[in-house]
Structure 1
Amino acid sequence: MSPSKLLRILLLITGGLLVTMIVCLLGAYLYVSARLPKVETLADYKPPVITRILGDDGSLIAELYRERRILVPVSTMPRQLIEAFVAAEDAKFFQHKGLDLESIARAALKNIRAGGIVQGGSTITQQVAKSLLLTPERKFSRKFKEAILAWRMEKHLTKEEILYLYLNQIYLGHGAYGVQAAAENYFAKNVEDLSLAECAILAGLPQAPSRYSPYRHLKKAKDRQRYVLERMTQEGYIPAEDAIQALSEELVILPRSKPQIPGAAYFTEQVRRYLEKTFGSDLTLTGGLEVHTTMNLAMQQAAQQAVRNNLRNHDRRQGYRGPLRILDKQEQELFLAEQNTTWPEAPPVGERLEGLLIKGDKKELVVRIGSFTGFIPRKDLSWAGNLKIVAEGQPVKIDSNKKRVQMPVGSVLLVEVVRHQKDGKLDLALAQEPQAQGAMVALDPRSGEVKAMVGGYDFSQSQFNRAIQAKRLPGSAFKPLIYAAALDKGYTPATIVLDTPLIYREKGEQGQEKEWKPKNYRGSFSGPTSLRRALARSYNVVTIKILQDIGVRYAIGYAKKLGIESPLAADLTLALGSSAISPLELATAYSVFANGGVRFTPNYISKVVDRNGKVLESVDPADFPEGADDQQKLIRNPSERVISPDTAYLITNLMESVVQNGTGFRAKALGRPAAAKTGTTNDQKDAWFAGYVPQLIAVSWIGYDQERSLGKRETGSRAAAPAWVEFMKEALQSLPRQHFPVPDGIEFRPIDSDTGLLAPEDGSDVVFEAFASGTAPTHYAIESKQPSAQDFFKLDMEDL
């Protein structure tokens, strides 16, 4: 065959192959492109962004997210930041149309030599296409799709729009998506405040965020920074002098302070649960909601600290339980080595941590924390009983009855740092973590806004929110609800009831006779007693008599309209708080008294706004635009008048006597008008203190999750009131001193305290009593020979 004929055949074969290749590529392009996502969807770019939870003053208290991203416009970003990313990732970004063929060829050669994919050669546009429109697998088919989409994107979007997508979408390590989140993460700055040196650090992260993390690998991060600055110089973005200056700049890595405020976890967790229930998990975690809550940050932190302090003090009253554990010689060395790593510098004042007991004498205990030595004075150990330090290897002995504890050298103790001495030594206090739990909830009675909510000692140890999820017996804290119901049934604060012994008899299931002999806390009886005195002294028998008179069913209905939702016992034990309720329920009921008879549904969210500024939910109808469909308005916080202003004032006035002359005396420490009531259950398993001033109501509870006695004499006054007082002192600092407003219908009359009848104003043993209009007595005590006592149990008395 002649050479010319052979050449023609080769040309025909080559042409055929070329045509076939072109047809195949065209077919593949048509097949693949028809199935690719539309780049037009990028115009409506809505990536996952954080939901921000705000306090009542607009301060950030928590964030919820799957990807921590904060969208910022390109116009906000420093020009040097954009140039740093372009120089490092795609030098020809502003010239190419989506593909950089030279980079692709260079990457292909490297991959062939390496025998696998080691370099991608992708442009910024391709990276956006992969991130937003494709899956991340490393295959040729994906690269082919990526190239098509990049070319299409360049036709539909401007370079600035592509940069907006890229710089807000890219992952930059440690949970930060986008340049704003990364600027906060590494430098505690907004993106517009970044220096050239900081811009170069961020631009060096996309290749391997964990490898070049300035937190973990600062030297590698600096090496990558040098590369970015060199590329910026080569591309003409900055002069060499600026690069040298940026390289010499000392980097200050300031980890972003977590927005979760200490002490606010129970509140924000309740907000999260509500949001997910109402709006769904996706919108809550990715929708960029702005959630305005009712939490007052100062009050919240004061409440958490008050609960913690009270639990610790209660725990100390129960005695010392001994060391955490005992270590042998080898274990002691390991322990101190670990402490050296944890505490290379002295632990801060207030820190609670473990220390190793190395010596003890009559003067002090000596404790090691890594390389630091601390001292616990014996004079500060009276709460722990008689501590005897013995030689290493001897057992721990605890005699709780005689308050004696024997523990050996080598014991691990929980201690708290009190102060740092000038010579580097530490003053310590012996500590132990409480076993009991506590809760507190505080409301503004005028709006129902929850200002503070504490569900336990430590959210990290237990997420169970005892302020709203726990149902415990309120004891005598329930009595004001019974007394309020009685006031609406014709009773007055001056009504006299006989505080005398009672016996109730009933048939058991097997036909046997059972007896119930209710008694007062101290076991004694006071005879003729006014309603005011009975509530102030928390007399059980008087409350039972009142309940039987007004009717159990009536009292249950009354409690329900005050806001009690839990089931209530339909028997006379209701008078003693025998039905379990939550602290929030009790606070709701008391808020009706404080608010003049109007009940608000407790609320902890005032407004929810979506990422576009649309109000999704609000307590204020004015937040919704005019003409909005009523069905689109989610308005919370309904209010309703449930009792009269007169009744609300009278029960408040009675509860003021609880503070001034009864079991709520600790509230006098506030130095302002306050109404309150204690609650203690059988065997001191639950202790309560609930009270209010005109602007704020708070309920304090303490008890064990697995019910058992809090200890001898651990009543509401002793076990729960201190937390209430500590919190209220802090919370009320910014609120003016106010008296409870007196409704127009209230009348004040001079009353003989023995009979509850009118008395001459200048007579002896006269008190001025408050009455609703038309309910004051009309007869004088001198006209009556017998006290106007209401004794509804004469038959029971005759049986005694």
Structure 2
Amino acid sequence: MAKKRIVKKKPTKDNAQNFSKYIRRFWILFTGGVFTFFFMFLLASWGLLGEMPDHTILENPKTFLATEIISSDNQTLGKFYLDDNRTPIDYEELPKELVDALVATEDIRYYYHSGIDFRGTMRAIYKMGRGGGASTISQQLAKLLFTKQVSSNKFQRIIQKVREWVIATRLERQYTKEEIIAMYFNIYDFGNNADGIRSATRIYFGKEPKDLKLKESAMLVGMFKNSSLYNPRSDRNPVGVRNRRNVVLAQMYKYEYISEATKDSLQNTQLDLNYSPESHREGTATYFRAYLDKFMKDWIKENPKPDGSKYNLYNDGLKIYTTIDSRMQQYAEDAVGRHMPRLQAEFDNQNTPDRNKTAPFLELDTKEIEKLMNSGMRRSERWRVLKLAGKSEKEIKASFQIPTQMSIFAWKNGKPTEIDTVMKPMDSMRYYKSFLQPGMMSMDPQTGHVKAWVGGMNFRHFQYDHVKTGKRQVGSTFKPFVYATAIDQLHLSPCDTIPRQQITIEAGKYGNPESWTVTNDDARYDGFLTLKAALGSSVNTATARLMDKVGPEPVVDMAKNLGIESYIPAVPAIALGTPDISVYEMVAAYSTFANKGVYNKPVMVTRIQDKNGTVLFQFTPETRDVLSAEVAYTTINLMEGVVQGGSGSRLRGSNRASQAVYKEIITGYPYELNNPIAGKTGTTQNQSDGWFMGMVPNLVTGVWVGAEDRAVHFKSTTYGQGAAMALPIWGMYMKSCYADEELGISKGEFEVPENLSIEVDCSKWEGNGTDSGDTDDDLDGVIDF
């Protein structure tokens, strides 16, 4: 069979012309496209397609940085911010696995391009975006920093994309690859006030970035796709968050950052969040941070920037270095959290409507309670807001009787909780008045550095600070000031003796308007006591006799020199602790005794730096000599008797009698603190206030417990004394501090001054003057009264 001959047709002239036409059109379109691209690129670089950042702005991108509060052990206590809770970190602080996860997921050719991934761009154009976007990490950073998300209009999106390209290339010229990655992590909003990677790791996992595990890094990188949709705290997409994390792990495996076995094992794990919100009303040291907020605002008013403008506490990224030790702060908060619910439970048990028809108030009739509640109503936030809204008093009062949806604080199984309920605002006010509140401060007497500050039990619901703002009657914790004055003026010894018998200071003496007769709580008035035993047992008549001997004016002067700033009337009754004084002042005053008579003004802030590390403030110690070392040591020796055999003795080993009486509230008992401790309990006349001031050579801590209103209190001293209300907090706190040996809290003796001329060893005097039958023949010497 003959082969069929194929005859090729010769191109005609018309066909050749058509082909050439198509070729010309292609090159015209291609050249035009390239020209248009570069022309738009040029227009964007000139700023004609929208404002572009100049060189100065690129060097210092405008971002809002939170002010960071840093503890003495270099931990973040909290931050001040309005919208952006951002604290930038350097690239070196990012774990390698976190960076690898980002590159593998977002921009695998990151280290090989200069801001624009042309290969990825061509792929995105060819697949019309179905094969993934082409934005590089540099472009995404450019969008976050300098461009805004526009509408779905395609032309506007193209313009924005061109602007991002231009800015990305400029960023690549301005910064290293590592700096760009750090900026990207620092600028991104991870939701829930987690602005930037450091806030995100602290909020979602309760740790610093350097401590992240691989699966945690993968979850955070997964959030870059959409932090709202893939938010682990949201109920919108719980499965999607985990799936997105697993996509990141798969990408890391794909590009050989991790093995298949690692990928498979981690993909089967849960997210394991440790959600730790960073807000002004939550977290650690909330009351201290509230004090610091006011401190900083006052400092900012008096310390402008070099250009005359004022620092912004919430946006300028200041760093405030404080004296608070995060470990001791946590121990203090834990001690309060353990003791207060048990004490509250006992109080509530004693103040049921059946047992006390005016509960939680005592000794008030219906009219007095109504007056007290109306006064509280006028001081409330609700009253203030409605008054500003133009409501009449009649309307405002009526609103307090309308049931309202609210969340109230409660103790549940020994833990703080919130209960959603419907309640009249007036009823909620009465409900909150039944709660006992704590105030606690701890300070190094040698430096004045405040180590712990607990102003209440829950800042979210109780924002009044009971450390510095609150002032209450100090009861017997004032007595050491009287004893110190007497020792200073009369050169008394702890072994000197004093009679128990009643004493009356007549009207007119020391300006007394009427006669003042002092009695003892135990109604014993026979025999004699050493000064050490008298203070240890807090004998009222003994303190009153010393006051009568030295006069109230020198005692007031002594208290003022020790750091008490509150008003103290120069009347004899102050001997028993009638003045209202803050925990802050009392701790500073007692610290003077522990510091050999030298007063150190409490220090909370050691320095302030700007975001660049420039020191703006450095504290200067404020000290003064108040007492001789001899008088200070003698007063300390007196207060050691309180713990050795007086009202503070339960800090020692187990005491079965005390354990039986206080079994409901003696959390942490027995404390078994057998090292030298000086201290003093304090209880006011109607059990409204319970105090304990405790000292070891390098730490002084004061604790107060009481209710908002003095009419809310225990019926008797069984539970309403300082030894039951406040001392357990001190005992648990100190046990925790001693267990943490890194803190170096002293267990040694108080240092004896050289050439001590006052006799402090009373052991050679038979009976120590503690028995009612003691006579002056048994003792060192009876003070001439």
Tell me, yes or no, whether TM beats 0.5. Answer: yes
Alpha-carbon distance change, 46 to 655 in structure 1, aligned in 2, over 3 angstroms = same
* 1:4 alignment counterpart: none
Q: Secondary structure in 1 aligned to 2:473?
A: coil
Q: Once the 2 structures are TM-superposed, how far is the Cα of residue 726 of structure 1 from its aligned partner?
A: 3.6
What residue identity is the alignment partner of 1:655?
M
* 1:704 alignment counterpart: 707
Alpha-carbon distance change, 170 to 86 in structure 1, aligned in 2, over 3 angstroms = farther
* 1:365 alignment counterpart: none
- Tell me the distance in 2 between the aligned counterparts of 1:661 and 1:193: 49
Alpha-carbon distance change, 71 to 600 in structure 1, aligned in 2, over 3 angstroms = same
- Tell me the distance in 1 between the aligned counterparts of 2:628 and 2:172: 71
* 2:504 alignment counterpart: 502
The structure 2 residue matched to 1:207, chosen from 200, 208, 225, is 225
* 2:573 alignment counterpart: 573
* 2:24 alignment counterpart: none
Alpha-carbon distance change, 103 to 560 in structure 1, aligned in 2, over 3 angstroms = same
Aligned residues: 628
Q: Once the 2 structures are TM-superposed, how far is the Cα of residue 684 of structure 1 from its aligned partner?
A: 1.7
Q: Which moved more, 1:43-52 or 1:86-95?
A: 86-95
Query: Which TM-score applies when normalising by structure 1?
Result: 0.64
Q: Once the 2 structures are TM-superposed, how far is the Cα of residue 691 of structure 1 from its aligned partner?
A: 2.7
**Which is strand-richer, 1 or 2?**
1
Alpha-carbon distance change, 251 to 172 in structure 1, aligned in 2, over 3 angstroms = farther
* 2:183 alignment counterpart: 165
Q: Once the 2 structures are TM-superposed, how far is the Cα of residue 70 of structure 1 from its aligned partner?
A: 4.2
Check the 8 A contact 1:436/1:704 in 2, yes or no: yes
Alpha-carbon distance change, 129 to 491 in structure 1, aligned in 2, over 3 angstroms = same
What residue identity is the alignment partner of 1:253?
L
Alpha-carbon distance change, 251 to 215 in structure 1, aligned in 2, over 3 angstroms = farther
Q: Aligned pair 1:740/2:750, yes or no?
A: yes
- Tell me the distance in 2 between the aligned counterparts of 1:536 and 1:245: 67
TM alignment of 1:533-612, pairs within 5 A? 533-606=533-606, 608=608, 611-612=611-612
Alpha-carbon distance change, 680 to 42 in structure 1, aligned in 2, over 3 angstroms = same
Gap runs ≥5 in structure 2:
1-32, 301-309, 360-409, 416-431, 654-672, 770-774
* 1:727 alignment counterpart: 733
* 2:695 alignment counterpart: 692
- Tell me the distance in 2 between the aligned counterparts of 1:488 and 1:25: 85
Q: Aligned pair 1:789/2:784, yes or no?
A: yes
The structure 2 residue matched to 1:640, chosen from 621, 624, 632, is 624
* 2:141 alignment counterpart: 128
**1:176-224, CA deviations, whole angstroms, 9 ceiling, x for partnerless residues?**
4455665666677876888987776555433322213356535434655
Query: Which TM-score applies when normalising by structure 2?
Result: 0.65
- Tell me the distance in 1 between the aligned counterparts of 2:252 and 2:330: 48
Q: Once the 2 structures are TM-superposed, how far is the Cα of residue 648 of structure 1 from its aligned partner?
A: 0.5
* 1:422 alignment counterpart: none
Q: Once the 2 structures are TM-superposed, how far is the Cα of residue 647 of structure 1 from its aligned partner?
A: 0.9
Q: Which moved more, 1:277-286 or 1:479-488?
A: 277-286
Q: Aligned pair 1:220/2:176, yes or no?
A: no
What residue identity is the alignment partner of 1:478?
F
- Tell me the distance in 2 between the aligned counterparts of 1:78 and 1:555: 64
Q: Once the 2 structures are TM-superposed, how far is the Cα of residue 145 of structure 1 from its aligned partner?
A: 5.2
Alpha-carbon distance change, 124 to 465 in structure 1, aligned in 2, over 3 angstroms = same
* 2:57 alignment counterpart: 41
Q: Percent identity?
A: 28
- Tell me the distance in 1 between the aligned counterparts of 2:110 and 2:646: 82
Check the 8 A contact 1:107/1:121 in 2, yes or no: no
Check the 8 A contact 2:332/2:454 in 1, yes or no: yes
Quick one: higher RCO (CA 8 Å, sep 6+), 1 or 2? Answer: 2
What residue identity is the alignment partner of 2:54?
K
Q: Secondary structure in 1 aligned to 2:727?
A: helix
Q: Which moved more, 1:77-86 or 1:545-554?
A: 77-86
- Tell me the distance in 1 between the aligned counterparts of 2:455 and 2:92: 43
- Tell me the distance in 2 between the aligned counterparts of 1:498 and 1:321: 34
Alpha-carbon distance change, 320 to 739 in structure 1, aligned in 2, over 3 angstroms = same
Gap runs ≥5 in structure 1:
1-17, 112-118, 323-383, 385-396, 404-412, 419-431, 508-512, 618-633, 758-762, 769-780, 782-786, 791-800
Alpha-carbon distance change, 46 to 193 in structure 1, aligned in 2, over 3 angstroms = farther
Q: Which moved more, 1:459-468 or 1:75-84?
A: 75-84
Q: Once the 2 structures are TM-superposed, how far is the Cα of residue 580 of structure 1 from its aligned partner?
A: 0.7
* 2:89 alignment counterpart: 71
**1:720-775, CA deviations, whole angstroms, 9 ceiling, x for partnerless residues?**
33333343344345555422222233235699989x99xxxxx994446xxxxxxx
Q: Secondary structure in 1 aligned to 2:641?
A: helix
Q: Once the 2 structures are TM-superposed, how far is the Cα of residue 400 of structure 1 from its aligned partner?
A: 5.3
Q: Secondary structure in 2 aligned to 1:206?
A: helix
- Tell me the distance in 2 between the aligned counterparts of 1:40 and 1:296: 39
- Tell me the distance in 1 between the aligned counterparts of 2:275 and 2:438: 28
Q: Once the 2 structures are TM-superposed, how far is the Cα of residue 75 of structure 1 from its aligned partner?
A: 10
Alpha-carbon distance change, 89 to 218 in structure 1, aligned in 2, over 3 angstroms = farther
Q: Once the 2 structures are TM-superposed, how far is the Cα of residue 436 of structure 1 from its aligned partner?
A: 1.5
Alpha-carbon distance change, 207 to 731 in structure 1, aligned in 2, over 3 angstroms = closer
- Tell me the distance in 2 between the aligned counterparts of 1:240 and 1:447: 51
Q: Once the 2 structures are TM-superposed, how far is the Cα of residue 283 of structure 1 from its aligned partner?
A: 4.9
Check the 8 A contact 1:33/1:148 in 2, yes or no: no
What residue identity is the alignment partner of 1:706?
D
CA RMSD of aligned residues (A): 5.3
Q: Once the 2 structures are TM-superposed, how far is the Cα of residue 38 of structure 1 from its aligned partner?
A: 0.9
What residue identity is the alignment partner of 1:127?
Q
- Tell me the distance in 2 between the aligned counterparts of 1:489 and 1:110: 94
**Which is helix-richer, 1 or 2?**
2
**1:241-294, CA deviations, whole angstroms, 9 ceiling, x for partnerless residues?**
969956984344232453879764444554555455546884566526373534
* 1:303 alignment counterpart: 332
